[in-house]
């Protein structure tokens, strides 16, 4: 898998993912908060399948 997510994008995705999962874990939001696993995983892997489909690349060339 080729990296298509830049540093800032990765940090934001992981922050949002951890926040959503934390809120779900503490019962502040409903079970939908566990969807945070997706931005967390894409941020950790550095590859976003949706970016591939749309031809977006925020990583430095």
Instruction: Output b/e per residue, 41-54; b: 16+ Cβ within 10 A.
Output: ebbeebbbeebeee
**Residue 18 neighbours by CB distance under 10 Å:** 15
pLDDT along the chain (61 residues), means of 10: 93 98 97 97 96 94 74
pTM of the model: 0.89
> In a 3-state reduction of DSSP, which class is residue 14?
helix
Residue 29's pLDDT is 96
């Amino acid at each position: 898998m080729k990296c298509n997510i830049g540093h800032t994008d990765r940090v934001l995705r992981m922050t949002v993912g951890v926040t959503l999962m934390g809120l779900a874990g503490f019962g502040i939001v409903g079970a939908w908060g566990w969807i945070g696993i997706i931005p967390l995983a894409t941020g950790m892997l550095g590859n976003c399948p949706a970016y591939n489909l749309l031809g977006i690349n925020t990583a430095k060339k």
